Amino acid sequence: MAQKRTWKKPPSVDKPRNQIDTIAMLQVSSNNEQALIQRSLADLGRGDAAILDRIDLPGEDARRLMELGFLPGAHITAGLSAPGGDPCVFQVDGSEVALRRETARRLQVRLSNSKRS
């Protein structure tokens, strides 16, 4: 009598769900430590300059801010704020724009080395 051959399932090419696909690594340089600090626009003090990295707002809100000059890579300087601290004025692209602190918290910036007054 012939032996029955059993078929062996080949190993899966899919990774288990709990296995990490990629590992993110950040190289930190001590020479340019100030530029690596991520903050929100609301964290800037009067006269502080920063570079806009990202806008974490819904599409229409982000689009409106981009129309006003808040584009990634834009240089932004914090200005005056109302007596209660809300809204705050920011200088971007030669214009002054007032934003609520709630909105300013959703704009991520990198500190710039220059400080304007």
DSSP 74: -
**How high is the pLDDT of residue 24?**
44
**How high is the pLDDT of residue 39?**
86
Task: Work out whether strand 107-115 and strand 38-40 pair parallel, antiparallel, or are unpaired.
Answer: antiparallel
H or E element in which residue 97 lies: strand 95-99
pLDDT along the chain (117 residues), means of 10: 66 55 42 60 90 88 89 91 86 90 91 62
